[in-house]
């Protein structure tokens, strides 16, 4: 940020924090701040622009909600770059999806254990009352920025020994393919929208009540056998959904 930039317009109907937000966004878009690099501190920005730190915090919070930057407690605020895309036309793991967009995938494991499935998971996977599942809960990162929280459940009978042999920081789909010969071929996925609660916001490093995508996915083998139930929460500011829709030719639809 250059110290000789034009002063803020204090008589404008646009609030000061919005003006600061736009200036910072412009500088990020022009490459003044690089991906993964820290943003100047709130104290530095406030001093350079002649405003209170509270005003700058409002601007920084707004940029965090947009997904342009992300904060790490005790470390500062960093540039998060463009949004990752979720393409519904392909069956891809988070690792494959993130790498395909030019970002580096990684995971923070929250828990990995064997448990009795919920009624929703039992029904989705066609399990009996005695069956158990592996439950893997992780925060998924793209270029070190937390993108989402995933909870994946798989039948224990499907992949015995998974907890002993699998590094939960790695790609689950790669492990299933290489060690068990299991290939996910089809998925059913439901997308809803919601707001992050305090715990989710802390894990995703966003403000509480920020918009999030809520994904529920059931994955199948080629023969139709359900093998995985996943519930995910992804930051709306760091993710976008892409799809291709095609209009049918005239005459393909019956007219009643």
CB atoms within 10 A of CB 114: 11
Confidence at residue 236, expressed as pLDDT on a 0 to 100 scale: 83
Residues 75 and 93 in one domain: no
Domain that holds residue 124: 84-242
Q: Please tell me the distance from the alpha carbon of residue 204 to that of residue 201, in angstroms, as a whole number.
A: 5
Which of the listed residues 44, 63, 79 is the one where a domain comes to its end? 79
> 56 and 74, same structural domain?
yes
Q: Does residue 249 lie in a domain region?
A: no
CATH code of residue 47: 1.10.10.10
> 28: closest CA among 53, 58, 64?
64
C-alpha span between 43 and 253 (Å, rounded): 62
Residue 237 covered by a domain: yes
Q: How confident is the model at residue 149 (pLDDT cuts 50, 70, 90)?
A: very high
**Could you tell me if 103 and 122 lie in one domain?**
yes
In a domain, 128, yes or no: yes
Shared domain check, 238 and 126: yes
- The total of structural domains in the chain comes to 2
What was the pLDDT predicted at 1?
Answer: 47
Position 155 pLDDT exceeds 70: yes
49 and 92 both lie in a single domain = no
Domain end position, chosen among 79, 100, 121: 79
Residue 126 has pLDDT above 70, yes or no: yes
**Percent of the chain at pLDDT exceeding 90:** 39
pLDDT digits (tens, 9 = 90+) for 53-97: 999 999 988 887 766 787 777 778 888 755 555 655 566 678 777
Cβ–Cβ < 8 Å for 142, 84: yes
Residues 28 and 125 in one domain: no
Q: What is the pLDDT of residue 256?
A: 45
Does residue 109 lie within any of the structural domains? yes
41 and 144 within one domain: no
User: Are 158 and 223 in the same domain?
Assistant: yes
In a domain, 175, yes or no: yes
Say how far apart CA 52 and CA 55 lie, in whole Å: 5
Query: Looking at 12-26, 61-75, 106-120, 146-160, which range is the least confident one?
Result: 61-75
Predicted pLDDT at 88:
58
What pLDDT, on the 0 to 100 scale, is given for residue 85? 59
Q: Helix 42-49 and helix 16-29: axis angle, to 10°?
A: 110
């Amino acid at each position: 940020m250059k110290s000789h930039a034009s002063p803020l317009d204090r008589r404008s109907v646009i609030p000061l924090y919005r003006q600061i937000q736009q200036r910072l966004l412009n500088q990020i878009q022009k490459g003044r701040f690089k991906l993964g690099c820290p943003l100047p501190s709130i104290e530095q920005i406030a001093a350079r622009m002649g405003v209170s730190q509270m005003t700058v915090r409002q601007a920084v919070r707004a940029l965090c909600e947009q997904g342009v930057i992300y904060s790490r407690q005790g470390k500062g605020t960093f540039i998060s770059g463009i949004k990752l895309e979720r393409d519904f036309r392909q069956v891809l793991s988070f690792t494959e999806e993130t790498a395909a967009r030019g970002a580096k995938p990684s995971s923070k494991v929250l828990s990995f254990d064997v448990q009795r499935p919920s009624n929703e998971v039992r029904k989705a996977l066609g399990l009996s009352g005695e069956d158990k599942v592996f439950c893997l809960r992780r925060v998924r990162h793209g270029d070190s920025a937390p993108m989402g929280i995933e909870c994946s459940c798989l039948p224990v009978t499907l992949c015995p020994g998974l907890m002993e042999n699998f590094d939960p920081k790695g790609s689950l789909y790669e492990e299933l393919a290489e060690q068990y010969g299991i290939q996910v071929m089809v998925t059913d996925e439901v997308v809803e929208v919601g707001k992050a609660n305090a715990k989710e916001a802390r894990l995703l490093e966003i403000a509480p009540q920020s918009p999030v995508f809520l994904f529920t996915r059931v994955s199948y083998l080629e023969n139709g056998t359900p093998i995985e139930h996943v519930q995910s929460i992804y930051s709306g500011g760091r993710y976008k959904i892409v799809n291709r829709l095609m209009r049918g030719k005239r005459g393909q639809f019956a007219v009643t």
